[in-house]
Structure 1
Amino acid sequence: MNRHSIFFSLILLLLGARLPAQQVKHDPKAQLALAKTIVADQKLKYVDSLAREIIKEGFNAGSGYSQIWARDLNTFIETALEERSQSDIRGAILLFFQMQQPNGEMVDGYVLKKDFTWHDDTPYYSKNAPDHVGFKNTVETDQETSLIQLLGKYIRTTKDYGILDESIGGISVKERIQLMLDYLKKERFNQKYQLLWGAMTADWGDVQPNDSFGCDWNELSNEAIDIYDNAMFIIALQTLIDIQPKSPYVSTWKALKKDIKTNSRRHLWDKKKQKFIPHIYPKTSPIPKGFDENTIHYHGGTAIAIEAGLLTPSEIETVNKQMKENVRLSGMPSIGLTLYPTYPIGFFVGGMAQPYQYQNGGDWTWFGGRMIQQLILNGFYQEAYEEIQPMIDRVVKNKGFYEWYGQNNVPSGSGKFKGSAGVLSKAITLMENWAETTLEKSH
């Protein structure tokens, strides 16, 4: 790039950053200027290339994690399919179905038996995968829905519909999917609210407050209904409708999806506050007296709710403004901020006892990047470009994708967290595709 090109790119970058968001949304000239800025942004290209290098390394969640998780692979499979062999990814997906339990339950993930090096009171085994051990954080209810979404992304990208007919232990993948849905309806469905439930955790997290480990359902758990689990269910049902349009179950999936959407809006959306309430507690609440949990904004669950089609364009604009204001008030780096305000000191036992630690207000690109994706897909291009910048800048600074960030942008957790890499790579791809299409239309 010559000096003239560099100077021109910098001018575009400055112009794009100063354009009011609403002007960009409705002004073709402003959109064109923003598109030129995005195409000229070398940091986006650098971060995308770095993400792809990390994802090439394998399907485990990241450095420090030997396991392959469904919820993680679901967020980087599209990039993985461009960087790894289709057959390897196909095999990784089928291994989840091989680990399915007799009751239809799906594991969080799996690992080779020789790599099973941590203590687990309830490891999962399957005769269909004798060399592997499965594990599951049973406080959460997103394992089955994550796997369905993962499978759908694989099929949409590769057109390998034959995977649905693969037989595992005499049961096809598509039959096993229905067993997964049956398990959710039997074991994790609240009849009063007609919504999925899990244990009380912080937003999309998998750590409950009442014990030091926090990932297993036990006598200290509190049954809770939240937007994240149910939005994931809606997306999974739509995925099944898309990949099996001629299935005899389609009408059932459509009716169930409609009901979950209706009940999610009815019971979880606070129309007055224009936000999702954190939880419904059908039995007992763990929230201490004097603390109003509904002051808390759940950023990650809200992003997934947008993906599930639960919010109107004006509501998306409102919740995005709330997220930005929460970032300002908290002093945290980006809209990857898990939630705001945080739960009180000591509410969570262990590492999350202090505010802005891990899922109690930590900043996770893994979900912030998904909000960026939804802003792009819903036409909020300027907002997406502005709000991705802190996430891009810290990758450039650290030359890596950390699992989460604390106050003052301190990196924490896995240094090569593939979920973070995957969501940023996809967000950058969506952004650049929009920009390139906009420029092509202008010629």
Structure 2
Amino acid sequence: MLNPSLRFFRPRPILPATALALWAAFAFPAAAPGQTTTTFRTSVPEIRSLWHLIRATLEANRMSFPGKSGLISAFSAGSLYPQIWIRDAATTIQASRYYSPAEEIVSWLEEFLAFQETGGGLPDWFDSHGRSDKNTTETDQEASAILAAARAVEIHGPGWLEKKIAGRPVLDRLDLALSFVLERRFDVKRGLVTGAHTADWGDLGMEEADQTAIYAGQSTRWTCDIYDQSMFYGAARALAGMLRNTGRVERADFWTRRAESVREAADRYLWQESRGFYRVHVHLDGPVHPFDEDDMFAMGGNAEAVVSGLAGPEKAVRIIQAALARQEAFRMPTIGAALLPPYPKGTFKHPMVDDPYEYQNGGLWDWFAGRLVRAMFDHGYSGAARAKLLEIARKNIAAGGLHEWNAPDGSGRGSPVFAGSAGSLASAVAEGYFGVRLTRDGCRLEPRLAEDGAKVFFRLPASGSAAAYEYSWNPAEQRVVFRYESPSSRPGWIRLLLPRALSEAELDVRRDGRPVPFSIERLGEDVLLVLETDFASHTLVLRAKKTSQGSSRS
């Protein structure tokens, strides 16, 4: 059950006339007149219930206070984490983008940049009292800031990158941040990013049993793990894209080369061809473990490898298959176990991770499972992705919220309203399952609904971008009807997952009653109908041809 004290978002400022017409055409009977906020109906009740939990989690963590750079409007990481955490906020934006004004998209990131050290390093968190700190066992803070900035630019536009924070443009500070990683957290011999020995993506070191476990020190055992390589790779490519789009081609090329160099090194030192996934890490010093650490499937790091693109298409498919196989072999209720198998009892001294299947040592984490599910949709495993998304939804409905992590029996642990989980799961639902890909400048619609039905309206308040569609499948008539519209003035693409009954059929495809050119794409296990379109109001109808005359494929 939802906490009755959690309030939902109020509608944001009124949309432009074109978007209001869009909403009027697609408004649900249950919607309040004039409502302009993201909403949807679906034939799958668990998806709707999960979205309620996502919104409730956002609202429970919303906060505003004065900071070094101005008024901060943001989301804390969870009820047990009153600070703004950079890695959490970088994923929370994937949910808040549908409900937040511009200041909630960028003000917190500007504050992190205001805390930047001279050498480029960024803190893990700051709070409303002006305090900050860094868990120095980890090496994802700077990469998280860059990935968040890239997501903000999609919504806010590239002009924001030239805004000065403490006298220096945002883009320059982002470049300085990733340069810090190269200078301070990089093993030149292997060409890999370094970090402390933790559990997968975690921040608790091996040797300490108290709070000092989050700080690197004399007892730290150093490694190069797949999570840090994946974060660096994604950040370097994102930074290169932002630099290129602002005319800084030479610097963009530098970061592109750095990204590819790290990918090559990760393939050399971390990829396991025989197992089909990346090893959790390689050790730089100290003894190795007396058990087969390489057999541990690090879900977080491998998921990020797929999401970032560090794992190319062939490796991505093998990682997805490995994740599915490990869940089945270990009989986990969701695909979100951080490590399978986990580290044996006593490997870590800290009481939060000294036993298997607790916290970062094998606990269930939606924060990373959501990324993997989104990647499954993107790589042609929509049927499996839908099933895994529903497993997560049912677990969270039973637990009464989006917890920081869950025990193997599904019970919630840690913070009961965890914002990072809301962000990752929102991306899996909105961009993965519903396939709505909105930016400031354009729109793509890639529904993965197949035999499901839905009526959706998604909007980015910070940019005014919006899209709506209604999708239905009639099995008796073997027909899909897809009504869609967006205020976007740019042409774009539709990629529809075909229901199984149409996946091998010759198709008759009509837009507004007229035949339209299309192609068929096979991706993984999915069969997709692909066509280019404008986003004026259209109705697309596709069905199996009743005769064998002509060809439906182009």
TM range (shorter): 0.7 to 0.9
**1:409 partner SS:** coil
Residue 381 of structure 1 aligns with which residue?
A: 382
Superposition deviation, residue 380 in structure 1: 1.2
Do the aligned residues in 1 keep the contact of 2:280 with 2:301 (CA within 8 Å)?
no
**2:434 partner SS:** helix
Residue 414 of structure 1 aligns with which residue?
A: 415
**1:262 partner SS:** helix
Worse-superposed segment, 302-311 or 312-321? 312-321
Equivalences for 1:81-120 in 2 at 5 Å?
81-113=97-129
- Residues 1:266 and 1:110: Cα distance change in structure 2 (over 3 Å): same
More strand by share: 2
Superposition deviation, residue 322 in structure 1: 2.1
The aligned amino acid for 1:104 is G
Of residues 156, 170, 174, the one that matches 1:173 is 170
Worse-superposed segment, 304-313 or 204-213? 304-313
- Residues 1:165 and 1:231: Cα distance change in structure 2 (over 3 Å): same
Of residues 197, 222, 244, the one that matches 2:194 is 197
Residue 534 of structure 2 aligns with which residue?
A: none
Pair 1:220 & 2:219 matched: yes
The aligned amino acid for 2:326 is N
The aligned amino acid for 1:51 is I
Superposition deviation, residue 39 in structure 1: 4.5
Superposition deviation, residue 81 in structure 1: 2.2
Of residues 50, 53, 71, the one that matches 1:50 is 53
The aligned amino acid for 1:205 is G
**1:407 partner SS:** coil
| Separation (CA, whole Å) in 2 of partners of 1:409 and 1:61 | 21
Residue 133 of structure 1 aligns with which residue?
A: 131
**1:358 partner SS:** coil
Superposition deviation, residue 89 in structure 1: 2.9
Residue 31 of structure 2 aligns with which residue?
A: none
**2:409 partner SS:** helix
| Separation (CA, whole Å) in 2 of partners of 1:172 and 1:52 | 33
Do the aligned residues in 2 keep the contact of 1:149 with 1:236 (CA within 8 Å)?
yes
The aligned amino acid for 1:110 is F
Q: Deviations over 1:47-85 (max 9, x none)?
A: 113312321341100111111011001112032122122
| Separation (CA, whole Å) in 2 of partners of 1:47 and 1:73 | 20
| Separation (CA, whole Å) in 1 of partners of 2:396 and 2:408 | 16
Of residues 131, 146, 149, the one that matches 1:148 is 146
Aligned residues: 385
| Separation (CA, whole Å) in 1 of partners of 2:109 and 2:301 | 25
| Separation (CA, whole Å) in 2 of partners of 1:442 and 1:198 | 53
TM-score by length of 1: 0.83
Residue 232 of structure 2 aligns with which residue?
A: 233
| Separation (CA, whole Å) in 1 of partners of 2:305 and 2:117 | 29
Do the aligned residues in 2 keep the contact of 1:56 with 1:84 (CA within 8 Å)?
no
Superposition deviation, residue 153 in structure 1: 0.2
Of residues 271, 283, 290, the one that matches 1:269 is 271
| Separation (CA, whole Å) in 1 of partners of 2:251 and 2:203 | 31
- Residues 1:344 and 1:55: Cα distance change in structure 2 (over 3 Å): same
Superposition deviation, residue 314 in structure 1: 4.0
TM-score by length of 2: 0.67
| Separation (CA, whole Å) in 1 of partners of 2:341 and 2:396 | 26
Residue 515 of structure 2 aligns with which residue?
A: none
The structure, 1 or 2, with the larger RCO (C-alpha pairs under 8 Å, 6+ apart) is: 1
**2:255 partner SS:** helix
**2:318 partner SS:** helix
Superposition deviation, residue 101 in structure 1: 1.1
Do the aligned residues in 2 keep the contact of 1:269 with 1:275 (CA within 8 Å)?
yes
Worse-superposed segment, 165-174 or 199-208? 165-174
Do the aligned residues in 2 keep the contact of 1:278 with 1:298 (CA within 8 Å)?
yes
Unaligned runs of 5+ in 2: 1-40, 63-74, 436-446, 450-470, 472-493, 499-538, 543-554
Superposition deviation, residue 442 in structure 1: 4.5
| Separation (CA, whole Å) in 1 of partners of 2:44 and 2:390 | 11
Do the aligned residues in 2 keep the contact of 1:338 with 1:359 (CA within 8 Å)?
yes
**2:127 partner SS:** strand
Residue 357 of structure 2 aligns with which residue?
A: 356
Of residues 84, 94, 99, the one that matches 1:68 is 84
Residue 251 of structure 2 aligns with which residue?
A: 249
| Separation (CA, whole Å) in 1 of partners of 2:313 and 2:256 | 23
- Residues 1:318 and 1:168: Cα distance change in structure 2 (over 3 Å): closer
| Separation (CA, whole Å) in 1 of partners of 2:398 and 2:426 | 17
Same amino acid, percent of matched pairs: 28
Residue 163 of structure 1 aligns with which residue?
A: 160
Superposition deviation, residue 341 in structure 1: 1.0
| Separation (CA, whole Å) in 2 of partners of 1:240 and 1:318 | 28
Unaligned runs of 5+ in 1: 1-37, 114-131
The aligned amino acid for 1:249 is R
Do the aligned residues in 2 keep the contact of 1:265 with 1:310 (CA within 8 Å)?
no
| Separation (CA, whole Å) in 2 of partners of 1:279 and 1:50 | 34
Do the aligned residues in 1 keep the contact of 2:120 with 2:177 (CA within 8 Å)?
yes
The aligned amino acid for 1:378 is H
The aligned amino acid for 1:243 is M
**2:132 partner SS:** strand
